[in-house]
Amino acid sequence: MAVGVMVLRPLLASVLLLGPAVVARADDPTWTRRIIAPDTALKAAQAALAECRKRGWQAAVTVSDPSGLALVTLRDRFAGWHTLEAATGKARTAASWREATSTLAARLARPDAAERAIVNVPGVVMVGGGMPIEAAGQQVGAIGVSGAPGGDNDDICAKAGIEAVAADIAF
């Protein structure tokens, strides 16, 4: 019986120590969230901009935190002034709705879409180029690209930015 107690004590101690860290309750007064770091956001923005340049597109890129607040914004030399606001709006929209702006725009284009009114919310940009950045199923940020010819092409650059940091943010 002494051997059984010796085996159970460390097990019980580890359960007691790890139990509170593993179990999260809805009534907890705080919570923890991973957020893309500014240096990683810069790397994503640079990769997205490089992809657009490679294709001959002048663009702006914004990478935001999960709430949609910009961490990094880059604009290529000849990208129009409007691309700055559009890229930021796309990142903010993707962060807020937690889905790609192209997917959201397609859904809201249907005449029977129940949530069509969100297109009128100030700052919302409903065209391709905005995507959430996720790691292990958790949104850690968002990216918005504007300036390529069409939202589908903005998506190409945004995906390149996300791919450039995928290994860095994996947890």
pLDDT at position 111 is 85
pLDDT at position 24 is 55
Task: Return per-residue pLDDT of the chain as tens, 171 residues.
Answer: 454 444 444 443 443 343 344 445 778 898 888 999 999 999 999 999 999 999 999 999 999 999 999 999 999 999 999 999 999 999 999 999 999 999 999 998 888 888 888 888 899 999 999 999 999 999 999 999 999 999 999 999 999 999 999 999 987
Asked if residue 96 lies in contact with residue 66, where contact means CB atoms within 8 angstroms, the answer is no
pLDDT at position 32 is 85
Structure tokens at 84: 């700055």
